[in-house]
Amino acid sequence: MLTLDKFEEASEKVKEVTLETKLVYSDFLSEQTGNKVYLKPENMQFTGAYKVRGAYYKISTLTEAERKKGLITASAGNHAQGVAYAAKCYGCKAVIVMPTTTPLIKVNRTKSYGAEVVLCGDVYDEACQKAYELAEEKGYTFIHPFDDLAVATGQGTIAMEIFKELPLVEYILVPIGGGGLATGVSTLAKLLNPKIKVIGVEPAGANCMQASFKAGKVTTLPSVNTIADGTAVKTPGSKIFPYIKKNLDDIITVEDDELVVAFLDMVENHKMVVENSGLLTVAALKHLGVKDKRVVSILSGGNMDVITMSSVVQQGLIFRDRIFTVSVLLPDKPGELSKVAATIAAEQGNVIKLEHNQFVSTNRNAAVELRITLECFGTDHKNQIIKALEKNGYKPKLVRASL
């Protein structure tokens, strides 16, 4: 596996189940970073993620007897849908073990392809252990989400498509959970152009591959904590580790707060919904440290439930100073609230929530607290509103916004 012939074979095979995800040039991200940034929108695949590539190619390499046993895998969601859909195409049974924390949209879509879903454990690693137990008990054929050379070969077909569209690409940014996608993409990219740089990106709270690189061997994290649920993996793949160690040039980690802001940028500037794991490569662009390069960021998936989306949008607005909360102390008498409201209105601020606390002081004639949550146009506008409140005799104090 992981030869040019196998990658070419896989590239033709996955065309049977994948949609064409042409590169999208990003004026916004290019201007922000000083590079020519292109997006590979795998979030637009039929199953909402790239994972169907590896799953379908892997299943195509199985014997008829192996497929008839039924298939089983563990996944935080995207590989689950890939296996479920591929199994449906081949007419075989699929059992998917998913962490109990998996977003509802991923669970329901996996079921919609006819798969049986078993919820177990809080993270992928615990779900995977359960899947192995069921495979042993029932005789199912196990399809590993990343530590499998055939699966990695299928995922690497993304690199083939990138090179066909952008032969002079200089950097490819790829998300890392267990490492299957990074293995396939980096290996094929180096076969096609040894000078290209392939950079892996992990959430800071689940950097198992970075820890393994530093240790020089596969390393298990004691725990993971990230909103990027699709890459919340404690142990990277051991079979693929030698390939990724050889072909990956560097690993960048990003904080969850950076993913929140990246989500807002993608929605506002590209009208695309990309899940937190898929945004890793977007958030990493400002950490790349190069200029005037042709860079491709792989958007690995877009399966995000509405509740999570709502929370991320709200937090993104707060981080971007589009929403903020200010506290002012007022005498407890008629007309004071209208004075504050008039000051804010004059500066084009939009009040979205008020909290009036009469018990901040034992002397209510001296002060009551008013907390005002506002919408504004950004940092400069926020500062303008605060200065106006100060000018009118108030002593505004910024507090953590709470929606």
Q: Which residues are catalytic?
A: 51, 300
Q: Which two tokens stand for residue 240?
A: 């693929």
- 133: phi then psi, degrees, rounded to nearest 5: -65, -45
Can you tell me the distance from the alpha carbon of 44 to that of 48, in angstroms, rounded to the nearest whole number?
6
3-state DSSP call for residue 315? helix
SS3 sequence, 267-281? HHHHCCCCCCHHHHH
CA distances from 95 to 53, 88, 154, 296 (A): 18, 12, 21, 34
Spatial separation of the C-alpha atoms in residues 195 and 174, rounded to whole Å? 17
| 73, β-bridge pairs | 96
d(CA 81, CA 139): 21
- Tell me the backbone φ, ψ of residue 325, rounded to 5 degrees: -120, 135
